[in-house]
Structure 1
Amino acid sequence: MQPVRRTSLIAQVTEQLRAEIRSGRWPVGRRIPTEPELTELTGTGRNTVREAVQALVHAGMLERRQGSGTYVIATSEVGGTLAKYFADAHERDILELRQALDTTAAGLAARRRDDADIASLRSLLAERSNRNWSEADPVAIAADVELHRAIVVASHNAVYLEFYDSLLPVIEQVIHARTAKSDDAYDTEHAELVQAVIDGDSERAMRATSCFLGSLIAEYPDRAESPDR
């Protein structure tokens, strides 16, 4: 039997790590296991793991953050490319895009949510509501992002979710920038949105989302000219 070439082994481990991301076991925005943990998971050496991780960094699925670890930023190479594109977008532009995406997703979620979605939304809303927004707490921001993503998940549209996941890193950045200026958590608006989805009221869910994001957009000056990228 021919011995497994190292390049083939790296490809196998890369695919193994990619599968963990695609399955959702390593969700977007979360840190992946440490290098020693990955060597144990894959049964390979550190160099192999390091090169496999680097391959996914180049593909735009992972991002190394100095002093913090390596994080999932996309569930596919296409999502990674989109994430890189959105990284330089203006905050208002991202919010306007979110208004379109989140509003449609909320309407779909209200029509398609199942019992698991409802349980998830209730849990994530409670988690978000219990967080401190006065100091731009990263945990509070993460809870907010997870709640909105769960609504997209409840839409049961895989393409929508793929595109939304590519936006998550920059969505988190925009939320962090805004909460540094204001500690208004919009708890009432989020509770109304989640309840509308749970009640299966599509129009109410869409209206709640559009109004909430519209109020955020109004905080930014409008620009008549096209933004430079």
Structure 2
Amino acid sequence: MIRKTNRKSLVEQVVEQIEQLIEQRHWTVGEKLPPEMELMEEFDVSRNTLREAIRALVHAGLLETKQGSGTIVRSTSALDAALKRHVKKSTMLETLEVRLALEKQAAQMASERRTETDLKQLEACIRSCKDASANNELDQFISSDIQFHKTVVQASSNQLLIDLYEHMTEILYSFVHDFMTMEPPFQFEQEFHLELFEAIQKQDKESAAAHVENDMEVLKENIIKIMEE
């Protein structure tokens, strides 16, 4: 028997559609949603249904409503919003532990599944890191460094892992920037990841995992040292 669509399911449908539009970058972070009347027509729903859907997304952290400014996109997904909430409460060491778990697994999988294209992209990231180091350009170095890690994760060919890591990009940028500015001058060449690249190139997953673990352990020791000073 076909059931009539109830108000709750309509709200859920609108929530799902708005989420998809945000994830597909139809509306980007910081962008204001169209006027209420336009959205009502677009989704073919009542004002109450639309407002309930928006309230749900505000609660989830995807949207923010401001008096006189309308509704603004705040996160790319519910997962992204949740990660941002958690990272505000987490310490640098907790963030590092999450990085280790994701990147160690990614390095092992990338060693088995990497393509020639992946290797070329990793080499390009390393070159970019070296150029930034030579010119003492911190922001460019951090961006290139994070792109290296993202490329390793993408080479794992595991879409869930890729999605999880993608949502951590902003968190990672803040993490790396905070660390590198804690004790200047930072020795950029320590972060070139040449040994990790070679392990992935040789498809040596044990060595790749060991390099990630070693890099993270050095970072952890430095962070603890800095915090104690």
Alignment RMSD: 3.9
Name the residue aligned to 1:115: 116
**Structure exhibiting the larger radius of gyration computed from Cα positions:** 2
Q: Distance in 2 between matches of 1:124 and 1:57?
A: 37
Shift of the 186–58 alpha-carbon distance from structure 1 to 2, 3 Å rule, reads farther
Q: Verify the 8 A CA contact 1:111 1:200 in the aligned structure 2.
A: yes
CA distance in 2, matches of 1:12, 1:100: 32
TM-score, normalised via structure 2 length = 0.65
**Corresponding position of 1:98:** 99
Maintained 8 Å contact 2:114/2:155: yes
Q: Distance in 2 between matches of 1:148 and 1:72?
A: 25
Q: Quick one: distance in 1 between partners of 2:176 and 2:101?
A: 17
Relative to 1, partners in 2 of residues 1:12 and 1:161: Cα closer, same or farther, differing over 3 Å? closer
TM-score by length of 1: 0.65
SS across alignment from 2:223: coil
Counterparts of 2:145 and 2:82 in 1: how far apart (Å)? 24
Of the two structures, which has the highest relative contact order with CA contacts closer than 8 Å and spacing of 6 or more? Answer: 1
CA 1:58 to 1:129, structure 2 compared with 1: closer, same or farther past 3 Å? Answer: farther
CA separation of 1:17/1:167 partners in 2, compared to 1, >3 Å: closer, same or farther?
A: closer
CA contact (8 A) 1:95 1:213 kept: yes
- Partner letter of residue 202 of structure 1? K
Structure 1: give runs of 5+ residues left out of the alignment: 1-7, 27-31, 50-54, 64-69, 223-229
Deviation at 1:163, TM superposition (A): 1.8
Letter in 2 for 1:211: N
Shift of 1:147: 0.8
Structure 2, unpaired ranges of 5+ = 1-12, 40-55, 65-71
In the TM superposition, residue 172 of structure 1 has moved relative to its aligned partner by 1.3
**Alpha-carbon distance, 1:137 to partner:** 1.8
Answer whether contact 1:106 1:209 (CA < 8 A) is retained.
yes
Shift of 1:205: 1.0
The one-letter code matched in structure 2 to 1:220 is I
Q: Aligned in 2, Cα 1:221/1:151: closer, same or farther, shift over 3 Å?
A: same
